[in-house]
Amino acid sequence: MNKKVEFFMVWAGQAVSLLGSQMSGFALGVWLYQRTGLASNFAFVALCTVLPQMLLSPLVGNFIDRYNRRKLMALADSGSALCTLVMMLLFLSGRIEPWHIFLGTVVSASFGTLQAPAYSALVAGSTEKKHLGHANGLLQFGQSLCQILAPSIAGVLVSIIGIAGVLLIDLATFLLGIAILLFSRLPADPPMRHGATTKHNRSFIKDWMDGLRSLRSTPELRSLLGFQTVFTFLWSIFSVMVTPMLLGFTKPDGLGLTLTIAGFGMLTGSMVMAVWGGPRRRMNGLLVFEFISALAFVLMGLRPNLALVAVGAFLAHFTLAFVSSLNDTLWQEKSPPETLGKALAMRQMFMRASTLVAYLLVGGLLDQFIEPLLLPGGALTTSAGMIFGIGPGRGIALVCSLIGVVKIITALTLAIPNWNKAEEISPAL
């Protein structure tokens, strides 16, 4: 079996496993809300997901740079599968409580901290450089497809086989993904460091410090890390605000339609990226698509018009597929191979930290400060209100357009010649 077929098998197994996980996540969320009636529990589940990944990310990089990445992914999937099994047994016994879901989310997210960067490192180590864009586009396509399919499939299955049945399907998809990883021959061993007789003969702490110094000594990659942090922060803010912004002027069916259009934008973009592979000048392509994304954010906030917001949402998510894939490819191509795991883990830590800050910031400001700005009698009704409109959700819409402005500034900063040298960095040999 050639390498391309091996890669496709691993990708398919992981995509099916992700579909099962998102189906079970949807089903558990429905049960949690029906049991407690508290929307705040969704925020707590998000916290249970983000916080462990932020805290544990600095630790997993060393493992990825020392051990077989397929086996690490299988280990991570096995831990998450065990959580799913416990949840299923609790549902079957009738003893499930909300705190079980919170604890299970923490444990599963902890294993996921290892899985995501190990998967990215596996792609980098087993794919020719010229095909990395295609590979990352394929990964984005799988994620997008799962995000679209999982809620509708889970909604139907919960009514037929119950939540325990959905969890059983999730468990089966985990086992399928693990089996493919264990039997695959896709190259997964990390590269050896120069002068080292074995990849295990170095101090764990010294190994991590070497990787950190490698990242700190490369200003251009540091600028990519800064871009990724701001990028994740802005998208996290948007993810919290988009629902109340839309419900301020449309009904739930309009919200659902817009989110579906956005999902298909992401799916279309990732499909194009998988086939095309992206431009040869990765950084230039990233900047172009980020500019388009910024304009889409400005467009979404301008007027309380569903068609306008839907077009903006499609463009924003269409370009998201390219920006994410190209950013992943740049990190895989330009990070020193022997410290790639630590670089990806450090990036993941900053991404989760920015997500957490965004959730906390928006949660505290949304109702108390942002929304009143453009309500009748608000501070900006006679200025910004003339453009963005006045009423529920318009203060949030103003912030949405401001996010677009910040994205333009961030892209311009990254485009400064002294910063935009990521294309010129050669990986350490």
What are 88-129's pLDDT values in tens digits? 999 999 999 999 999 999 999 999 999 999 999 999 999 999
pLDDT reading at 195 higher than 70: no
Domain parsing of the chain, residue ranges: 3-187, 209-422
Report domain 209-422's class: mainly alpha
Task: Give residue-wise pLDDT tens across range 54-78.
Answer: 999 988 998 999 899 999 999 999 9
**Phi, then psi, of 245 in degrees rounded to 5:** -65, -45
Q: What per-residue confidence (pLDDT) applies to 336? A: 85
Domain 3-187: homologous superfamily in CATH = MFS general substrate transporter like domains (1.20.1250.20)
Q: Say if CB 350 and CB 228 are below 8 A apart.
A: yes
The dihedral built from the CA positions of residue 270, 23, 50 and 54, taken in this order, carries a sign that is negative
Least confident of 130-139, 236-245, 272-281, 321-330: 236-245
Q: What per-residue confidence (pLDDT) applies to 415? A: 78
Full-model pTM: 0.90
pLDDT, the chain, mean: 89
pLDDT band of residue 428 (cuts 50, 70, 90) is: very low
**Burial group, residue 275, by CB count within 10 angstroms (0-12, 13-18, 19+):** exposed
Q: How many CA atoms lie within 13 A of 308 on its CB side?
A: 16
- Which pair of tokens denotes residue 103? 């604890």
Rounded-to-integer distance, Cα 390 and Cα 61, Å: 48
Q: Is 209-422 the same fold as 3-187?
A: yes
Q: What per-residue confidence (pLDDT) applies to 18? A: 97
Residue in 25, 23, 18, 132 with CA at minimum distance from that of residue 76 = 18
pLDDT reading at 157 higher than 90: yes
- Which pair of tokens denotes residue 152? 């509708």
Locus of tokens 């739930």: 252
Between 174 and 2, the more confident residue is: 174
Rounded-to-integer distance, Cα 134 and Cα 138, Å: 6
